[in-house]
């Protein structure tokens, strides 16, 4: 039982390059999330998927796209990376029964955009 | 709308001293409240959560938090700090109608002096 896994762990991009961050969970959770963490700002929700086949914008969706490939996998894509997207990205999953379920977080992807 | 404010971006205590990390929330519906801990270069780990049962919640590693509706607070405490408690701590809020989405505070970095 690996929980939530993310790849890659580290990435350096040049401005304008594209990349996809991968996330997978093996807990059979329905809901998955992408957050970004910036110093002094906590974690902010980028996109989420309440169930397989659905995705919705969070607080800071601009510059990102997501795909819920199946129940296990939820990817985050940067089409044209910008320095403002330098951050640590966390994927999380949870099973929604009334909303009180805590998220299980992956180890993070540290992205630098030059 | 929901929000979380953590008072103090950095707290320093001596080993063996009381740890108090402050969190105030805003929510128009009954909140679910969470404390997460993040050790350096790692993901987030749940410490404890409040989901409308007992107002005093006990978590892992000797931490506890008390939900005070009148003060809209959910402060985290530990009677005696250990060196291993040095980490960043995040307070988060959700509710039954948020689909598991978490709103995080800015984080408080806890340092423990020998």
Q: Residues of A with CB below 8 A from B42's CB?
A: 107-108
B44 and A101: CB-CB below 8 Å?
Answer: no
**CB of A55 less than 8 A from some CB of B:** no
Of B111 and A50, the structure prediction assigns the larger pLDDT to B111
pLDDT value for B28: 87
**What does each of the 114 residues of chain B score in pLDDT, given as a tens digit?**
889 999 999 999 999 999 999 999 999 888 899 999 999 888 899 999 998 878 999 999 999 999 999 999 999 999 999 999 999 999 999 887 777 889 999 999 999 999
Mean pLDDT of chain A: 92
Residue A45 touches partner B, C-beta closer than 8 Å:
yes
Contacts of A35 (CB under 8 A, 6+ apart): A43, A44, A45, A46, A58, A89, A90, A91, A92, B104
Q: Supply the pLDDT for residue A100.
A: 64
B93: tokens are 């809020």
Please, are residues A113 and A47 in contact by the beta-carbon 8 Å criterion?
no
A12-16, A56-60, A94-98, B99-103: which has the minimum mean pLDDT? A94-98
Query: What pLDDT is stored for residue B38 in this prediction?
Result: 94
Q: Is residue A90 within 8 Å of residue A104, measured between CB atoms?
A: no
């Amino acid at each position: 039982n690996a929980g939530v896994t993310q790849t890659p762990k580290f990435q350096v991009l040049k401005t304008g390059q594209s990349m996809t961050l991968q996330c997978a969970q093996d807990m059979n959770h329905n809901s998955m999330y992408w957050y970004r963490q910036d110093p002094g700002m906590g974690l902010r929700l980028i996109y989420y998927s309440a169930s397989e086949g659905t995705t919705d914008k969070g607080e800071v969706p601009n510059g990102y796209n997501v795909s819920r490939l199946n129940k296990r996998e939820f990817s985050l894509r940067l089409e044209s990376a910008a320095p403002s997207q330098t951050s640590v990205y966390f994927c999380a999953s949870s099973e929604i029964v009334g909303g009180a379920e805590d998220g299980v977080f992956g180890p993070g992807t540290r992205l630098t955009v030059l | 709308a929901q929000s979380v404010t953590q008072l103090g971006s950095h707290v320093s205590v001596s080993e063996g001293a009381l740890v108090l990390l402050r969190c105030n929330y805003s929510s128009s519906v009954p909140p679910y409240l969470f404390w997460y801990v993040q050790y350096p270069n790692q993901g987030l780990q749940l410490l404890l959560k409040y989901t409308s049962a007992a107002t005093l919640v006990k978590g892992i590693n000797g931490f506890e938090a008390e939900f005070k509706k009148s003060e809209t607070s959910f402060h985290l405490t530990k009677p005696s700090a250990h060196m291993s408690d040095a980490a960043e701590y995040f307070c988060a809020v959700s509710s039954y109608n948020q689909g598991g989405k978490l709103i995080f505070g800015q984080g408080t970095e806890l340092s423990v002096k020998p």
